[in-house]
Structure 1
Amino acid sequence: MVVPQTEPQKINFKEKSYYYIDESKNNTVCGGNKIRKISQIMKDESPSGILTYGSKYSSHCLASAYWGALNNVPVRLLVLEADDIDFSTFPNLNVSITLGADIVRIPPSEAYDLIEKEQKSFSSYFWIPGGGHTEEGLKAYRDWFGQVLDEDSSLMDRDWVALPFGTGTTALGILMAIRDQGLSMEVIGVSVSRSKDRCLEAARDLVSDEKLDLLTIDDRFAGKYGERTSRQATLRQTFLEETGILPDPIYNVRVVEYLEEEDRKNGVIINTGGQWNNLL
């Protein structure tokens, strides 16, 4: 699967100028960082099926379902959710169902045991950790951002890159591309759920401590995954009016709120996708 490059553009928000890269434009069905990672993860694989997990808002689950539909491969999605919900009311899951994926609810309190049981029951399926948190997923964004920097050298003068931080694979790939270029650009990961300590713990799965010196985790939204506020709704509308871009209400609005609260200039914003959640 070919995932095209997305190009930086200049935007102004709250009288400040930024470079903005909209990864939601890289695919018409499920654009964003997850489809780029899945394409790299599955590049050399011919599985009998895919088994993975995510939340009810998960773009990773949708990207997995999309890859499976394109390649006629069954996909089983384990959705971590305490309540007995109607999957079809959550856009990413609704589209995943339409694409033929099977969805199983996994209560978070039983996640470890139930996921292990699923892995044994579907041992022939290719297992993908949630969010595509793998070396291959990191490589996808290391290669991508390295090419972005090569094609637009003016970005090398920016002081920072900001993006949502879930499992952190995308941010870590960007971090490694920056280190490859010998730059000192800060990578700001705005956590959408986890505490700083948990984010760093996940980062250490893929990157050693000494290479995390340029990574900053902002965890002001820790424990607030999926929460939506009237202030965020206003910020989304303002961002749309000033830039023509609507950030999704689960992931990328967190970065907009961070930038509205912080005096940050001379940076790059990465929109990682999640646009189906605009229908929530």
Structure 2
Amino acid sequence: MLTFDFHSPVEEISLPLYAEKQVRVFMKRDDLIHPYISGNKWRKLKYTLNQAKQEQRTLLVTFGGAWSNHLLATACAGAKFGFQTYAFVRGERIDNPVLKLCQIFGMQLEFVDRQRYKNKEDLFHERFGNDQHAYFIDEGGYGKQALIGCSEIIDELADHYDHIFCACGTGTTAAGLLEGIHQRGLQTTLHAVPVLKGGEFLREEINKLTKRADDNLQLHSTYHAGGYAKTTPALIQFINEFTQQTGILLEPTYTGKLLFAVHDLLKKNEIPAHTKILILHTGGLTGLLGMLDKF
């Protein structure tokens, strides 16, 4: 079992909107777990890396875009726990701070065109099919082992919350939260906010990992701001205002859209008064480096 472990704190956020709507809002600060293996990235990698260790694999092979928090987390975790790391990067060759950090941690990068990238298992088998030391990790850390890690978030909560909100990219974090809610017999409603356009398909992805997708799950699929890693002036303004009011840094790809959704739903009175809300901050703040020109 890997020895690195950390339970992130929960803090209450006080804003005029919350007082007006008579709700209490808390944030689970998974962004504080680690500077680079932060948030749900560590949750997803924890048991995956343990499985790789048990199978005596020494090379982690994974996938992601040029600004992927998952790639950086895997590179850092590989260095920390004694793995070599290799990543297939979607799109044309590019140099940026996130990929440079991946390389500093020892990760080898291979850029592949977007069409070839769609067939991740084929890429893995072409390059590493005969390598018994190589271990496949899907994009974003998606998988059953990741589900277990994300379900532990619920185990760490000392209080009960009526509503829990999380951003949704692959559906793994939401699936894990649903599993944790079910295991503890809670009546909590989970709200998942897809960050990519057409995010309704994520209900099916969540169902592949856990059959709880129809239990206590609400999917809010209209807060994508035009698509994955897309922004709007209203979203950027919101992030600036929230960060300046709370001292909690957000980024536009995941947590910014998540908080924007929470505030909009409150303004529309779609969340009842006198309820307790928990928002999961999933980290990934290095994604800001590629979007600073938006601010």
Q: Same fold (TM over 0.5)?
A: yes
Check whether the contact 1:50–1:73 (CA below 8 A) recurs between aligned residues: yes
Of the three residues 32, 35, 48, the one matched with 1:41 is 48
CA distance in 2, matches of 1:169, 1:50: 19
Equivalences for 1:100-249 in 2 at 5 Å? 100-113=106-119, 115-123=121-129, 124=131, 125-148=134-157, 152-153=158-159, 156=160, 158-208=161-211, 211-220=213-222, 221=224, 224-249=227-252
Spell out, residue by residue over 1:6-49, the C-alpha distance to the aligned partner (whole angstroms, 9 max, x if none).
12110023521411111010113332111222122111423131
Aligned-CA RMSD value:
2.0
Of the three residues 251, 254, 257, the one matched with 2:254 is 251
Q: Give percent identity, aligned residues only.
A: 22
Check whether the contact 1:141–1:173 (CA below 8 A) recurs between aligned residues: yes
Spell out, residue by residue over 1:179-224, the C-alpha distance to the aligned partner (whole angstroms, 9 max, x if none).
112112111111011524320221122112x553211111111861
Equivalent residue number for residue 39 of structure 2? 32
CA distance in 2, matches of 1:256, 1:205: 27
SS at match of 1:255: helix
Check whether the contact 2:8–2:29 (CA below 8 A) recurs between aligned residues: yes
CA distance in 2, matches of 1:196, 1:73: 34
Equivalent residue number for residue 13 of structure 1? 15
Gap runs ≥5 in structure 2: 19-23, 291-295
Length, aligned pairs only: 269
- Is residue 93 of structure 1 aligned with residue 95 of structure 2? no
Q: Please give the TM-score of this superposition, normalised by the length of structure 2.
A: 0.84
Q: Please give the TM-score of this superposition, normalised by the length of structure 1.
A: 0.88
Q: Kindly tell me: are residues 117 and 132 of structure 1, through their superposed partners in 2, closer, same or farther at Cα, counting changes over 3 Å?
A: closer
* 2:277 aligned partner, one-letter code: G
CA distance in 1, matches of 2:112, 2:256: 27
Per mean C-alpha deviation after superposition, the further-off stretch among 5-14 and 259-268 is: 259-268
CA distance in 2, matches of 1:13, 1:247: 16
